[in-house]
């Protein structure tokens, strides 16, 4: 029971941190984040700032060393940057999808849906690779602590909590 309560509390804390860590593109349901910053807070899309927020939270939760913090910042900054680079492609594909829908262009709908799926696959891959690289940095004790959150924690961005940058 105590372990379950800890896991629920930890997931809740990580979710809140993730939601404040990164802004969400209004047309997107990924990129590691949520409506960043909270009410009235200044939002940023700067990858380094977003990664620093993720690492700050993870440092508190996992007691990261200075070296781990530096490496994690590099890892998450690269993933956030890569996912942000896909935003223009996503916006273009969503606009084309809307046009295809309005024209009842089924071939165009299929093309744009496929494009959006490919973009999302790239974003998921970027986030999962960052998660894997970060996880590899952790000590056995840190991994155990992180593992108590369960498997739903992975694939959503360890640093961004979607943990959905960072970001899902």
Residue 163 has pLDDT above 80, yes or no: no
What are the C-alpha distances in Å from 166 to residues 14, 48, 60, 79, 93? 12, 10, 16, 8, 23
Alpha carbon 141 to its chain's center: 24
- Does the pLDDT of residue 11 top 90, yes or no? no
Average the pLDDT over 2-29 and give the result.
Answer: 43
> In the block, which residue shows the tokens 């999962």?
128
pLDDT grade for 154, boundaries at 50, 70 and 90? low
Cα 150 from Cα 9, distance rounded (Å): 12
Tell me: pLDDT of 136 over 90. Answer: yes
pLDDT tens figures, 105-133 = 999 999 999 999 999 999 999 999 999 99
Q: Kindly report whether the global pTM for this prediction surpasses the value 0.85.
A: no
* Sign of the Cα pseudo-torsion (49, 55, 60, 65, in order): negative
> Which of 5-14, 55-64, 94-103, 125-134 holds the top average pLDDT?
94-103
How far, in Å, CA of 52 to CA of 35, rounded? Answer: 17
In this prediction, residue 32 carries a pLDDT of 42
pLDDT digits (tens, 9 = 90+) for 35-93: 344 444 568 889 999 999 999 989 998 999 999 999 999 999 999 999 999 999 999 99
């Amino acid at each position: 029971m105590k372990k379950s309560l800890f896991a629920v509390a930890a997931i809740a804390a990580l979710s809140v941190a993730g939601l404040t860590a990164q802004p969400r593109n209004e047309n997107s349901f990924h990129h590691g984040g949520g409506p960043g910053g909270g009410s009235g807070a200044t939002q940023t899309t700067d990858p380094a700032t977003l990664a620093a927020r993720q690492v700050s939270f993870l440092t508190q939760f996992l007691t990261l060393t200075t070296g781990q913090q530096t490496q994690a910042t590099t890892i998450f900054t690269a993933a956030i940057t890569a996912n942000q680079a896909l935003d223009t492609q996503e916006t273009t594909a969503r606009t084309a999808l809307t046009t295809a829908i309005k024209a009842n262009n089924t071939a165009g709908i299929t093309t744009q849906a496929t494009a959006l799926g490919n973009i999302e696959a790239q974003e998921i891959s970027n986030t999962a690779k960052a998660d894997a690289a970060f996880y590899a940095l952790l000590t056995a004790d840190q991994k155990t602590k992180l593992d108590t959150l369960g498997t739903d924690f992975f694939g959503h961005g360890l640093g961004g909590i979607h943990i959905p940058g960072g970001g899902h």
